[in-house]
Structure 1
Amino acid sequence: MGKRVKTGYPGVYGTPHATRKHGIKPDLYIEITYRLDGKKKWEGLGWMSQGMTPLKASKILMDLKEAHRTGHGLRTVAAHRELAKEEAEERLEAEKVAAREATTFEEFWLNVYWPLQREKSARSIATEASLWKLWIAPQLADVALMKFTPFQLEKVKQVMLKAGKSPKTIKYAFGVISQIWSLAQRDGYVFTPFPGGQVRLPQQDNKRQRFLTPQEARLLLEYLAERSPLSHDMAVVSLFSGMRFGEIASLEWQDVDFPDGRILIRDPKNSQNRYAFITGEIAAVLRRHHSGQRSGLVFVSRTGGRIDRISKAYTRVVDELFNEGVTDPRLRVCFHTLRHTYASWLVQKGVDLYSVKELMGHSDFKMTTRYSHLAPEGLRKAAKVVEGSLGDGVSPKVGVVMRGPWPT
């Protein structure tokens, strides 16, 4: 850069670039000079090739001098720049807020929510995609998240009810919408609680009532052994431990403690780790799959990865054996029936409900009490414990000896 030169405007100078031209003349870097608090101050404004001119610089200098004279306004170019920067940042933030406030369910689903669902099982992904396409998107796709109301959620419910969808399916759809909302809250798109609590879900008793007798369980295992040995082995583990399909599919060898006879179930459905115990039946299955490895999945798919869904062979077998003509889902046999059977057998054999709760990993004792009706003899025996506490031959009216038979 060369030496500063006057521009013809008082207090405005230009420094020529050594090589760069602006038109036919050297490009000039424009500066102004003025006194601030009695001291001479220089401030650069920019190159002529970038739009700065001596005339613009002169007007800026006049504004600064007026601020100095009156005591109102910004007194330096640096202060103007800082203000402009802050205003630009505020505008940008306002634009971001406006864009977020205008974000629709569909935009959020496509750009934020859906890309994060890859870690879910293939079955869950397929179910959510179907619920979104068929029931959620038609009602909510164009609705801005910030303008979402319970009324719109009610519309989703009513459309699904009219189409004959079960309460369980409607609840699943609400669950997906709730997940979208939670993620939107996390990322600052919405700031209010999910309005689902203001919409009453249709109620239905979906608790499975069907469990297998020992004879039915033997028949099932015989068929599975012939058609799908892997399904047979996973069924045995569930039948004798109460483990869910997902827990069995995720089971790794480092969680199997052969010496102690226990299996650690990590990160189950209710998020509370628990232990299952290795019975003789389970031990036989594990031995067939164990070849000395200390890590990795116990049960693997044909490609060597995690099994992400119940085999079609299992479904075909239970349909053939137990589900023909059965329309009530609570009475149909599925893989979860094995877990239900395990709990039912425990209660029938006199195991107390607290122990059943711990073995099943129930988070709420109410889930366990559904099995209490299977132990009438156990309850009768428990009730008889207090019999005779008043002493032999003493009636409930203390001190009066009963004579003759008990009145009827």
Structure 2
Amino acid sequence: MVDGKRIVEMLGWTSEGWTADMAATLLAELERNVKQGLRPQTLKEKRQMAAEAQAAAAQQAQLDALKDITFGELAERYAAWAKSTRISGHKMQRLLELHVLPRLHSMPAASITPQHLNELRSELEQTTPLRGRGKAEGRGLSAQTVLHCLKAVREVYNYARETPHPDFPERMLYSGKNPAVLSRRGHGVRLPRSDARRLRILNDAEISALLSYRGQNVVETSELHDMILISLDTGMRAGELVRLRTEDIDVDHGTIRIYSGSDAGITKGGRTRIVHAGHLFAESITMLRRRVGSPGLLFPGRGGAVRNTTAVSRAMAHICATLGLNADVTDDRNRIVWHTLRHTYATRMLEAGIDIYTLKELLGHSSVAVTERYLHLCDRAKRNAALARLTRGE
């Protein structure tokens, strides 16, 4: 009897193992619950509660399994997100696949400690690169590459700590501490020690040699000449240059719009900006006027596709080797590379009297502190003379 109503329910058959004693015991339990106001009070309710308990147990088992989620699973989810939302998503995915996942893929994310990552750092420092001079000379990965790998691990954990699990929106993919905290004071993961900054700038003779270079492939030599010219004149990075389109150029005003977001993002810092051609090399305006007549990429690769920046760097290395510009150079920081063109542009703009904040915007730096290093490279006498002329209004 429940609330004055007689309840009749079927328990089961003797062929299923039920007995009269079992029925009596169950009936007594339900009657006792009715008298005491407890649950369940009917067989239907008892079965429903059992099903709910079973579902809750299954869900709890799934939640408990989150504690054992592997770093590889987190990295896979992060890579899928990063490729569609971050400019550096493809680079991060490649670093993870090449250098991190082979070592951490099957480890539970919660079990990875700073010690594991310090061991990873040591291993990477001994890992021979897949290509380049490091491979030929049997050196380990550069300190900068090792640092990017550690940052990729940190990014995976940060993403997992802020992203709800698709099946359990109230739970994050990972709720523990981030073991990849980078530190210089002995706590957490120790940063690789290096000073890989390239402070090399070109003198007039070297600039003249680069612009006068003529290779066997006349067409490709002309392309490289124009790319070198505009890089010296605007300070654009190689990655920005190869994705530049003719529609981004206003020849009448000498302006070039460098956008972020298109083609997986063409600016390193994700900052759209405008640069001005013709200030250092007036002939670049003539070159741009000749090229903007055809729609598409300003410097297209094979089949009109975007050039590979690695190929551009190799081309510069070949030119420098042919001209002997890197002969007898033992420190990589003193080698002329494509980025040397950007350094040269920055120092020459300062020597021409431009202020540091305007140069920061032209270079697309996020902080003026990054731009200030060029003050130490420029010729102070030239800069002071230029500033004096500007003051006099000449």
Mark yes or no: TM-score above 0.5: yes
**The one of 322, 332, 337 aligned to 2:340:** 337
1:269 corresponds in structure 2 to 268
Contact 2:251 2:289 in 1 (8 A): no
1:389 corresponds in structure 2 to none
1:137 corresponds in structure 2 to 102
Which of 1 and 2 has greater Rg? 1
Task: Return the alpha-carbon distance in structure 1 between the equivalents of residues 112 and 214 of structure 2.
Answer: 49
Task: Return the alpha-carbon distance in structure 1 between the equivalents of residues 89 and 285 of structure 2.
Answer: 28
Deviations 1:235-274 (A, max 9, x none): 2222111111112223234433344432222222223322
Q: CA deviation at 1:68?
A: 1.4
Gaps of 5+ in 2: 128-139, 164-171, 261-266, 390-394
1:351 corresponds in structure 2 to 354
Task: Return the alpha-carbon distance in structure 2 between the equivalents of residues 370 and 262 of structure 1.
Answer: 26
Deviations 1:197-227 (A, max 9, x none): 3223133222212112233223213326744
Contact 2:351 2:383 in 1 (8 A): no
1:69 corresponds in structure 2 to 35
**The one of 298, 310, 316 aligned to 1:314:** 316
1:158 lines up with 2:158 in the alignment: no
Amino acid at match of 2:276: F
1:96 lines up with 2:62 in the alignment: yes
Q: CA deviation at 1:359?
A: 1.4
**The one of 173, 195, 215 aligned to 2:181:** 195
Task: Return the alpha-carbon distance in structure 2 between the equivalents of residues 44 and 214 of structure 1.
Answer: 100
Task: Return the alpha-carbon distance in structure 2 between the equivalents of residues 86 and 129 of structure 1.
Answer: 42
Contact 1:220 1:317 in 2 (8 A): yes
Paired residue secondary structure (2:57): helix
Contact 2:353 2:387 in 1 (8 A): no
Task: Return the alpha-carbon distance in structure 1 between the equivalents of residues 82 and 335 of structure 2.
Answer: 30
Q: CA deviation at 1:339?
A: 0.9
Q: How does 1:380-395 map to 2 (within 5 A)?
A: none
**Cα RMSD, aligned residues only:** 3.6
2:131 corresponds in structure 1 to none
Q: How does 1:36-115 map to 2 (within 5 A)?
A: 36-39=2-5, 63-76=29-42, 79-80=45-46, 83-109=49-75, 111-114=76-79
Amino acid at match of 1:231: L
Normalized per residue, the structure richer in helix is 2
Q: TM-score, normalized by length of structure 2?
A: 0.72
166-175 vs 223-232, greater mean Cα deviation: 223-232
1:182 lines up with 2:158 in the alignment: yes
Amino acid at match of 2:173: Y
Normalized per residue, the structure richer in strand is 1
Q: CA deviation at 1:277?
A: 1.3
Amino acid at match of 1:236: L
1:284 corresponds in structure 2 to 286
Amino acid at match of 2:234: S
Paired residue secondary structure (1:203): coil
Task: Return the alpha-carbon distance in structure 2 between the equivalents of residues 314 and 348 of structure 1.
Answer: 25
Task: Return the alpha-carbon distance in structure 2 between the equivalents of residues 281 and 58 of structure 1.
Answer: 103
Q: CA deviation at 1:66?
A: 3.5
Paired residue secondary structure (1:205): coil
Task: Return the alpha-carbon distance in structure 2 between the equivalents of residues 221 and 200 of structure 1.
Answer: 43
Identity score, percent: 28
Size of the aligned set, in residue pairs, is: 341
Paired residue secondary structure (2:236): coil
